[in-house]
Amino acid sequence: MARADDSLSPRRLALKLLQQYSPSGYYIISQYAAARTSFTCESGSVSVSKTDFSSYLRGTAPAQIAESLNTAVHEICHGYTGLLAYPAKEAAGIGACASGTYFSYYIGGTESVLVKQTPVFPTREMAASIPARMHTLRFPTYVLASGNLGAQVNGIYGLLDELNAYYHGTKTAFDLLTFYRTEMPQTPETWLAFFTGVNGTYYAYGEFTYYISMYLRHAKANHPAQYREIVANESLKNAYAKIDRNYRDLIAAYVAAKKDILAELARQGYSVSEDSKLLWIGKNGSRQGRGNFLDVHTRLMDELAKDEHRTMLNALRP
């Protein structure tokens, strides 16, 4: 069994793991790190600060670093979305200093979609329209809270940024499957760590898709001019469609992989089970469980299957 080199610094070890197992996660980190932070054009200049991804790493051992990469990629994805919009504006011929707020949503490979923000209202304005049964873990932070969080001040564009960041963080955690198979001891603890790394964030797909739907509904009812500009923004619709497809495909791949892993553990003599809240792995009468959030994910997906949300979200497709 190959082992990651735990003599490397946390930063170098994280980069090695990303480069070997998660090309998209590595692309986000490396492109953001290499990006310019100062831009000059005829109308003036602009400077942007950067955060080193290593500030999000925890521990020094390979297993600890692996567990940190979901968060590290998620957070740097936000930085990428903002910072990489400047060279994208240059490449598009509109100039880095062009007025307005722009986002460069990373899709995958080397593809990003440049989107200009249209007028928006703060996300918390729609909070009262979300029933208590739909108040999931992230509702207080992203919908109800005040402050200058992107998901608040940038409205639907900030919510899409969060959806994409959660996708890329979750994808990185899933991409590490081969690391857990080949570089970690094949124990319940190893597999529970892998499942935990994905389970904590995969259901954010349902949360932020639901928030986006509710944002559109509130806009249509209370800010019709803003709604018309949002659904007429073809670059936004292009980005949303690709991010939505990516996240759906990731969840399907994870569900299939989880089924295979649990079947293999059962063949090895482990007792495995999963209910709507917990995933269990054990042997010889002892077992351990970790949260899987299936109840939350199912509630969100059942809600999104309703015609009212399907109609809203279809308005955001090309």
- Pairing between β-strand 111-116 and β-strand 102-108 as defined by DSSP bridges: antiparallel
5 assigned to some structural domain: no
* Per-residue pLDDT, 1: 44
Euclidean distance between CA atoms 259 and 282, whole angstroms: 16
| Residue 138, in any domain of the structure | yes
Q: Is residue 1 part of a domain?
A: no
Q: 41 is in which domain, residue-wise?
A: 10-314
Report the distance separating Cα 241 and Cα 151, nearest Å.
19
Whole-Å CA distances, 138 to 79, 111, 159: 20, 28, 12
Mind listing the pLDDT tens digit for each residue in 170-189? 999 999 999 999 999 999 99
- Which pLDDT tens digit goes with each residue over 153-164? 999 999 999 999
Instruction: Give the separation between CA 233 and CA 154, rounded to whole angstroms.
Output: 15
Residue 4 domain-assigned (yes or no) = no
Kindly report, residue by residue over 208-233, the tens digit of the pLDDT. 999 999 999 999 999 999 999 999 99
Tokens of 63: 């297993």
Record the pTM.
0.96
For residue 5, name the pLDDT band (cuts at 50, 70, 90).
Answer: low
pLDDT at residue 282 greater than cutoff 60: yes
pLDDT at residue 86 greater than cutoff 70: yes
Q: Rounded to whole angstroms, how far apart are CA atoms 218 and 143?
A: 13
Q: Long-range contacts made by residues 238-241, C-beta under 8 angstroms, separation at least 24?
A: 238/113, 238/318, 239/103, 239/105, 239/107, 239/113, 239/115, 239/160, 239/164, 240/160, 240/212, 240/316, 240/317, 241/316, 241/317, 241/318
Q: 120, 155 in Cβ contact below 8 A?
A: yes
Q: Does residue 255 lie in a domain region?
A: yes
C-beta atoms surrounding 101 within 10 Å: 16
Residue 2: band (very low, low, confident or very high) from pLDDT cuts 50, 70, 90: very low
Confirm whether 95 is domain-assigned: yes
Is residue 70 included in any domain, yes or no? yes
- Judge whether 2 lies within some domain: no
Q: How many domains does the chain have?
A: 1
